[in-house]
Amino acid sequence: MIRKTILSLLLASFSAVVPVILGAQDAESKVVFTSIGNDLKSGDAATFAQWFAEDIEIDVLGTAGVCSRSQARQLMKNFYSRYTPKSFTIVHLSGSLPMRYCIGTLIAGGERFRVTLFVKSQRDIHTLQQIRIEKD
C-alpha cells in the first residue's frame, strides 16, 4: 500500500516536472533562434558570422559545401549584396539538446527564401553548424 502511494506520488511529480523542463528548453530555443534571426536579417555578414562554427556546412542558393567561418561569411556577404534582407520569421523549431534546428522565412530583395538553421548548444555557447538558404 505504501509502495503504491509512493510510486503514484513519484509518477505525478515526474509528469508535472517534465513539461516545465521541456517548456524551458522551448523558450531558450526561441530566444537563441530569434537572436540568430535578427543577425541574419541585419544584412551584415560579419555580425551574422559570429554565430558560425569554425567549420560550417552551408548551402546558399545551391552553392554548397563545408567551409571555414571566413569562407561562409564571404558567401553570406555575396548573398546580401544581391538580396537586402527585410524580415525573418520563425516557422518551426525542433530538436533536442545539444542539436536544435529552426526553419524560417526570409524576405530579402523582394523575394522569399526558406532558411534552415542547425545550432549546437554546449552550456551557454550556441554555434551554427549548418545553414541552408533556398528560394521558397
The neighbour count for residue 120, using CB atoms within 10 Å, is 16
CB 61 within 8 A of CB 133: yes
Q: Please report where in the chains the cell 549548418 appears, as a residue.
A: 130
How far is 56 from 97, CA to CA, in rounded Å? 18
> What does pTM read for this prediction?
0.79
Q: What pLDDT is stored for residue 113 in this prediction? A: 98
Q: Indicate the helix (H) or strand (E) that contains 7.
A: helix 2-41
CATH number of 2-135: 3.10.450.50
Which of 90, 85, 86 is CA-nearest to residue 101?
90
Q: What pLDDT is stored for residue 7 in this prediction? A: 47
CA 109: distance to chain centroid? 22
Give the pLDDT of the chain (136 residues) as one tens digit per residue: 666 655 455 455 544 443 433 344 578 889 999 999 999 999 999 999 999 999 999 999 999 999 999 999 999 999 999 999 999 999 999 999 899 999 999 999 999 999 999 999 998 899 999 999 999 9
**In the chain, where the domains are located:** 2-135
